[in-house]
Amino acid sequence: MISRRNSILLMILLACAVADTSLAAQDEATALVKSTTDRMLTTLQARRAEVDRNPAMIYGMIDTIVAPHFDFDKITQGALGQYWRQASADQQRKLVDRFKQVLVRTYARSLLNYSGQEIRYLPLKPGSKSNTVTVSTEVRESGAAPIPIDYRMYNNGSGWKVYDVVINNASLVGNYRSSFAAEIRQKWVDGLIGKLGDMNNKGQG
């Protein structure tokens, strides 16, 4: 028979074990961001001459290395807010596809401007839900203030996915939400789909 004291000790040990498992799972989020960033930058450095000759190559590199770790459906839903449910299934698919292209192009421009700045990984922040975390980083360059970049992530049961990026305290999803809402109010969902298409055709983000 287990004594009361031993029962309490057992409960504490079990609680610690659960906490350790949770922390280990959260650490995987930081490890994923770091390994993905390192792989992307290493690949870019190794193929820099090719990319300089043909900058469009970088889109394929991002699609292969970075994009699988972003939930573009969730990102698009967040940016559309209340209007997401009002769009048809076909409109939702087009919105996700075209918004993904905009985001990939925006990220590509940032990568092409990368020139060896230091990336620091800060302590992980727990999210508002048990399956969410924020991976905090800083991009540092000599003589300039560090730029904070936070990756808001959630675990969908099969791994960690990014659903928002916050740069200098400005949410990517939040910024697009206001401009998307204005466009939808004027030209409805098809108008936004057209605008995203035009942005991609012009190479804008």
Is residue 133 in some structural domain? Answer: yes
Is residue 13 in some structural domain? Answer: no
Is residue 93 in some structural domain? Answer: yes
What pLDDT does residue 142 have? 87
Percentage of the chain modeled with pLDDT above 70: 86
Is residue 41 in some structural domain? Answer: yes
Is residue 51 in some structural domain? Answer: yes
Range of the domain at 176: 24-201
Terminal C-alpha separation, the chain: 67
What pLDDT does residue 204 have? 58
DSSP state of 108: H
| Residue of higher predicted confidence among 16 and 203 | 203
The upper half-sphere exposure of residue 38, i.e. CA atoms within 13 Å in the direction of its Cβ, equals 8
Mean pLDDT of the chain: 87
- Give the helix ranges, DSSP H, for the chain: 4-46, 48-53, 57-65, 72-80, 89-112, 172-201
**Structure tokens, 70:** 């972003």
Tell me the three state secondary structure of residue 126. Answer: strand
Burial class (CB in 10 A: 0-12, 13-18, 19+), 6: exposed
Whether the pLDDT of residue 165 is over 90: the answer is yes
Residues 79, 180 contacting (CB under 8 angstroms)? yes
Whether the pLDDT of residue 191 is over 90: the answer is yes
Looking at residue 133, which CATH number applies to its domain? 3.10.450.710
Whether the pLDDT of residue 10 is over 50: the answer is no
What pLDDT does residue 205 have? 55
80 pLDDT band (50/70/90 cuts)? Answer: very high
pLDDT digits (tens, 9 = 90+) for 29-55: 999 999 999 999 999 999 999 999 999
Q: How many domains does the chain have?
A: 1
pTM: 0.84
100 pLDDT band (50/70/90 cuts)? Answer: very high
Is residue 17 in some structural domain? Answer: no
> Hey, which residues does 136 pair with through a beta bridge?
150
DSSP string spanning 169-190?
A: TEEHHHHHHHHHHHHHHHHHHH
Is residue 11 in some structural domain? Answer: no
Q: Answer positive or negative: Cα dihedral of 149, 113, 198, 63.
A: negative
Is residue 8 in some structural domain? Answer: no
pLDDT digits (tens, 9 = 90+) for 112-153: 888 889 999 999 999 988 899 999 999 998 888 999 999 999
26 pLDDT band (50/70/90 cuts)? Answer: low
Taking residues 103-111, report their average pLDDT.
92
What pLDDT does residue 128 have? 87
Q: How far, in Å, CA of 134 to CA of 20, rounded? A: 18
Name the region of 159 (left: φ>0; alpha: ψ -120 to 50; beta: rest): left
DSSP state of 123: P
